[in-house]
Amino acid sequence: MRIAAIALTLLATPLPAQDLIVQFADGAPKDSISFQTAGCDITNAMVMIDLAGSKGGLIFDVDPSGSEAEVYQPVEITHGYGALSPVRDGDKRLQVLVHSLIAGDTLDLTADLDDTLDGAIDVTVNGSEMAGASVRLALSDRVLSGIFDSTGVAKIALPKDDSVCLAAAN
């Protein structure tokens, strides 16, 4: 009887939040974007950042000969296991193949984002200019999405039943 009561208690306990959190941080000379998952591991999933809706009209600045500001940087993974799609100067989209993102760990990358608000190129970008940009997590059977807020953070709520974590691993 006691074991049954413990089992029922465990079944009734809500599962922890399983969000994919994507955080932008301005830096000089490189900005950073960090991916972290809480609650489950994600493997072999595609994440796409789309800057088209950003409040600052953000673009990736990767080429010294581009029309953007004088500071430029390649997009590079600095921590974690993933691969990047090629990025051309002025692109607004970046795809990241997440090979493995263990709960509590991060996948970090650096890039140079410039704002094009009002037609002027500005090397300083903050979280409020990232607001409105989107992030999508593509799995084998569905796409989940989130929007960056004014602090530069986007959250993708993952179902609490582990179906996303299991689907990503297949």
Question: Is 86 or 11 the better-scoring residue by pLDDT?
Answer: 86
Look at the domain 16-169 and name its fold. Immunoglobulin-like (2.60.40)
The mean pLDDT value for 11-24 works out to 69
- Helix (H) or strand (E) run with residue 66 in it: none
Checking if the pLDDT of 123 tops 60, the result is: no
Checking if the pLDDT of 161 tops 70, the result is: no
| Residues facing 145 on adjacent strands | 136
Residue whose C-alpha is closest to residue 73's, from 40, 109, 30? 30
Residue whose C-alpha is closest to residue 128's, from 39, 26, 33? 26
Is the whole model's pTM more than 0.85, yes or no? no
pLDDT (tens digit per residue) in 48-67: 999 999 998 999 999 887 65
What ranges do the domains of the chain cover?
16-169
The mean pLDDT value for 156-170 works out to 63
Q: What is the pLDDT of residue 118?
A: 66
**What is the residue-wise DSSP string for 100-147?**
EE-TT-EEEEEE-EEB-GGG--BS---HHHHTT-EEEEE-SS-EEEEE
Q: Which residue has the tokens 């200019």?
A: 129
Q: What is the pLDDT of residue 97?
A: 96
Q: What is the pLDDT of residue 91?
A: 95
pLDDT (tens digit per residue) in 69-91: 567 899 999 999 999 999 999 99
